[in-house]
Amino acid sequence: MTMRFTDQLCIVTGAASGIGRATAQRFATEGAFLVLVDRNEAELASVTAGLPRAADHSVEVLDIADQDAVSACVSRALERHGRIDVLCNNAGIASSKGSALEQDLAEWDRVMQVNVFGAMLFMKHAGAAMVEARRGAIVNTASVAGIRAGAGGNAYSASKAAVINMTQTAACDFGAYGVRVNAVCPGLIETGMTRPIFEKARELGKEDRLGARCELRRYGHPDEVARVIAFLASEDASYVTGQALAVDGGNTASLNLPGMKV
């Protein structure tokens, strides 16, 4: 295992499950100290207990859409470690898949609060410390739903498109200070958010059809996304910024219309 993050401080939001959990495991295995952020205290404790040097990591139970809580979290990380090397904005929630005629303002508000404003707040506060240090890397988790229609509900898709654009604009803001900002756009990955899709497919005996329209003809796993996040956060990607990298088995490589693939 390459130790690309030895003694670096990495904040991972949404660390209690799915891609966030896999990202925490990847960074810890490569030597990082972690600040693990989520609303699920019990699952955060479970994640932390299974990491190398478990006692060296810290847990923050908070709502990422709460600006005061985010600011305090970043301040505590700086007090404990003196710097922030990496920020991974993984936290997110889904939305219903009703049509544009069935949309609910309260749902849109909550999805935007978490998926967009939460990432923005952590970029603002952690990014300030990176700018002062003139180094750092930020990786936001967007989605293929932010690239094209059909991969999520309207509110979720709009929020992930916003994350992609926000990644690009932040890369422009931070670039002169040596801070890189990129995003990953996962396709169909088995996580807590997508579990109902997988459970339904297994119930119907159709698990083999999940991901069938991807060029690789399969769905993905959280660690496959975590490995790309780690690449973008590492010095291996030292000249990469402002990019939204699809991790989707090739799903966005074609029009992907029904009947186009055998």
Three-state helix/strand/coil letters over the chain: CCCCCCCCEEEEECCCCHHHHHHHHHHHHCCCEEEEEECCHHHHHHHHHCCCCHHHCEEEECCCCCHHHHHHHHHHHHHHHCCCCEEEECCCCCCCCCCHHHCCHHHHHHHHHHHHHHHHHHHHHHHHHHHHHCCEEEEEECCHHHCCCCCCCHHHHHHHHHHHHHHHHHHHHHHHHCEEEEEEEECCECCCCCHHHHHHHHHCCCHHHCCCCCCCCCCECHHHHHHHHHHHHCHHHCCCCCCEEEECCCHHHCCCCCCCCC
User: Exactly one of 156, 177, 219, 239 is catalytic; which is it?
Assistant: 156
Active site residue 156: yes
> In sequence order, which residues have a C-beta less than 8 Å from that of residue 109 and are 6 or more positions away?
none
> In sequence order, which residues have a C-beta less than 8 Å from that of residue 257 and are 6 or more positions away?
none
Catalytic residue numbers read: 156
